[in-house]
């Protein structure tokens, strides 16, 4: 896992994954490559929050609704 996060590169990988162009394992590898340690889904706020190793919020996005 990268020690420093790369928000721009992660955002690019996230968009690719959301289009269905990568599988879950590839997405996890991309997260590690760009310093994303974990993500949390908050169903009350309907958000995904992606964190780096230091616990910093790197990307926050809304869960899409129909």
Q: Where are the alpha helices (DSSP H) in the chain?
A: 7-18, 24-33
pLDDT at 42 over 80: yes
Domain ranges of the chain: 7-62
Q: What CA–CA distances, in Å, run from 42 to 13, 39, 49, 50?
A: 21, 10, 8, 11
Q: How confident is the model at residue 65 (pLDDT cuts 50, 70, 90)?
A: confident
Average pLDDT, the chain: 95
């Amino acid at each position: 896992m990268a020690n420093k996060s790369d928000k721009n590169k992660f955002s690019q990988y996230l968009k690719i994954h959301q289009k269905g162009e990568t599988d879950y394992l590839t997405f996890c590898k991309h997260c590690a490559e760009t310093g994303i340690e974990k993500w949390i889904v908050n169903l009350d706020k309907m958000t995904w929050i992606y964190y780096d190793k230091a616990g910093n919020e790197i990307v926050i996005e809304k869960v899409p609704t129909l």
